[in-house]
Amino acid sequence: MTKVRLGLASASQTLCRSLLERMPPRASTASQPFAHRARSSLARVGWRRSVVVDEDGMQKKPLHYSPWKGTFYFIYNKHLFWFRSVEKELGIRTEEVVTVSCFGSPTTLKLFFNDCRGAYLKLTKNKTTIFEHRNGKWKRTNLKSTRPVSTVVMNEGDKEGLLQDIESFLEPKAPTWHSNRGIPYRKGYLLYGPPGTGKSSLCLSLAGRFDLDVYILNISAVDGHSLGALLAELPSRCLLLLEDVDAVGVAQPRQGEMDIGQAKEDATQSQARSQGKLSLSDLLNTLDGVSAQEGRLLMMTTNHLDHLDRALIRAGRVDKKIELPNADKDMMFQLFCMIFKRAEGDILDPKQLAQDDETVEGFAREFAAEVPEREFSPAEIQSYLVEHRGSARVAVEKVQEWMDRTRAERSKMVRADSFMEVSQSTA
């Protein structure tokens, strides 16, 4: 009899991990015929943002059923298999332990899992899998359609350089090349710029392009100990995303404040630790430490490059720093064309006027001429253009009105922020 246990960390789990690296057991076993005969089922609401259109044309969260608690028998390739699910108490929480067993050689079981893996890969084709951490464990939280890198508008030279760099990092000979030279096989990038300039979008689209799963680390929800455990759990090929990395510890001393800064820094580090927050030194030690996986691609993002400690972004930890700024004329032109040019497979909105590419480009030039460079983020521009996607002409005609409105909203928010600051300092 051969059996493989899934769920809790164990030797057998390690054994089948390579088979299952991309395949959570439930997703694959749920598609087996026995899953439909199970008397007891675990019903779960689908991916957080997934929707399905039902008979009434309503979009609702889909329900998924998979066998739950008990033993279920099924035949696969003329062999008898059984799937056993038990609930194990782990202090205040419980965890499911799943065992799949069969009579026959390990090859039978391997064939079964390969089949499941194939089904899972089909399910995730052209999708990017996102993991986030909950209670110190990585959980798959989302499956997003892969976003083409071409839809992220940025400096073309930077984009091309990044793509080539990652491609050569991930090529099969790269691990040996690095180890022969004693160089850690890791890559780190820092993307910086104002909000809404495409930092997260770029990370996700790169993950899709290179077929990497994304692990999002929420810095404010971990301490040094849990960070170490989480990094040790990363697979050997993945993209680790640290968003808003300036949130680590407390504000870091800037350059020029460095002499008085050391004492201050020590204080802030121990303050961060005592508050159970991740301190900068914990982050640095863990990123460089033995538990840090070889082969991982680290992407850090920040809106405040000047708030980051130099140690965090020194060469070796961060190989490239890429700025994603507010839109210049060329970016505006590209964003405009992206919204108004017909794309393959587009279903034309009845309200949308069909326009040839040349006409759209003419409007795009007019639009870019109207909007000052570096004042508005690509996110702001995109959202305005989407609002007017029915007519490129109207989008150009109303742009001044939109800029005035956006500026007025901004100054209102600045006034509200300073009022809050004054109230807090007088409280």
Which residues of this chain interact with ligand ATP, rule CB under 6 A? 151-154, 195-201, 303, 378-379, 382
Which C-beta is closer to ligand ATP: that of 269 or that of 377? 377
Axis crossing angle, helix 11-20 with helix 106-123, rounded to the nearest 10: 50
Q: How far is the CB of 243 from ligand ATP (least distance, A)?
A: 6
Cα 139 from Cα 221, distance rounded (Å) = 14
User: Least distance to ligand ATP from the beta carbon of 245, Å?
Assistant: 11
> Residue 251: helix, strand or coil by DSSP?
coil
Residue 143 beta carbon to ligand ATP: minimum distance, rounded to whole angstroms: 18
Chain-centroid distance of CA 186 in Å reads: 18
Length of the chain: 427
| 197 vs 268 by CB, closer to ligand ATP | 197
- Kindly report the backbone phi and psi dihedral angles of residue 323, in degrees, each rounded to the nearest multiple of 5, phi listed first: -90, 135
Q: Collapsing DSSP states into helix, strand and coil, what is residue 89? A: strand
Q: Which is nearer to ligand ATP, 116 or 212 (CB)?
A: 212
Rounded (10°) CA dihedral 183, 187, 193, 198:
170
Q: Which is nearer to ligand ATP, 153 or 231 (CB)?
A: 153
Min dist. Cβ of residue 155 to ligand ATP (A) = 10
The rounded distance, in Å, linking the Cα atoms of 358 and 294 is 48
CA distance 398 to 402: 6
| Closer residue to ligand ATP, CB minimum distance, 41 or 146 | 146
To ligand ATP, the closest distance from the beta carbon of 241 in angstroms equals 10
Chain position whose Cβ is nearest to ligand ATP: 198
- The distance of closest approach from Cβ of residue 395 to ligand ATP in the complex, given in angstroms and rounded to an integer, is 16
Q: How far is the CB of 64 from ligand ATP (least distance, A)?
A: 28
| DSSP per position, 280-344 | HHHHHHHHHSTTSPTTEEEEEEES-GGGS-TTTTSTTT-SEEEE--S--HHHHHHHHHHHHS--T
